[in-house]
């Protein structure tokens, strides 16, 4: 079974405390959680140890391997604490200076390539996440990848003098809710979804 170790940890946790910590719904009748991840609700069935997304047409789809990793890691680790309201780069999170480099570097280059010529296009691409517009850079948005983890993405336009630039910022509490590897995976999935949405526009 995929992520067997994470499932073992999750099923041992108090259901109601977990739902409060993770800011999600627990349904006793079916012994499952409903968690918002990016732009979809996911059911985490504790008895069957399966995760699937709920679609608008009421059909379901099994969660991908990396989606499962993010959701399980979040349910296990999330803390019942308020947002700090302080934005910071990944490298400033505890342990981030050494983790977010090389293969673990955040996908800012994808954002620069996709939105560098027209930063405002990120507003349309991020609509699927109920994103709100911010006042940073040439265009910026904030949206939640998970109920306690907002992301702020900023893009600066490419011009004759400067290459495009992009930043991905976290609330100071982000590292409290997920291990850094799962957090990085969640960001990668978010950026992939943004790029895919822009390709369709």
8 A C-beta contact, residue 155 and residue 137: yes
Indicate the domain borders of the chain: 4-77, 87-200
The mean predicted confidence, pLDDT, of the chain is 94
In this predicted structure, what is the pLDDT of residue 201? Answer: 67
Distances (CA, A) of 28 to 34, 72, 120, 197: 11, 18, 44, 36
Q: How far apart are CA 142 and CA 154, in angstroms?
A: 9
| Helices and strands in the chain: count of H runs, count of E runs | 8, 10
Tokens of 16: 């109601």
Helix (H, G, I), strand (E, B) or coil at 80: coil
Rounded to an integer, the average pLDDT of 23-48 is: 96
Rounded to an integer, the average pLDDT of 9-20 is: 97
Quick one: the chain helix, strand, coil %, rounded to 5?
Answer: 40, 25, 35
Torsions phi, psi of 51, nearest 5? -125, 130
Higher pLDDT, 161 or 77: 77
8 A C-beta contact, residue 96 and residue 144: no
């Amino acid at each position: 079974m995929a992520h067997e170790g994470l499932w073992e940890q999750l099923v041992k946790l108090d259901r109601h405390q977990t739902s409060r910590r993770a800011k999600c719904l627990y349904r006793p009748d079916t012994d499952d959680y409903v968690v918002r991840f990016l732009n979809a609700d996911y059911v985490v069935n504790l008895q069957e140890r399966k995760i699937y997304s709920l679609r608008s047409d009421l059909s379901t789809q099994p969660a991908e391997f990396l989606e499962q990793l993010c959701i399980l890691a979040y349910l296990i680790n999330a803390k019942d604490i308020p947002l700090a309201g302080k934005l910071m780069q990944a490298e400033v999170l505890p342990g981030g200076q050494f983790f977010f480099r090389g293969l673990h570097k955040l996908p800012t280059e994808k954002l620069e390539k996709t939105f560098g010529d027209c930063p405002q296009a990120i507003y349309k691409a991020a609509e699927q996440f109920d994103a709100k517009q911010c006042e940073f850079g040439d265009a910026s948005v904030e949206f939640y990848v998970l109920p306690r983890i907002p992301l702020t993405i900023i893009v600066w336009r490419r011009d004759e003098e400067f290459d495009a630039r992009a930043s991905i910022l976290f609330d100071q509490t982000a590292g409290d809710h997920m291990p850094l590897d799962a957090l990085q995976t969640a960001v990668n999935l978010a950026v992939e979804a943004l790029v895919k949405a822009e390709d369709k526009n």
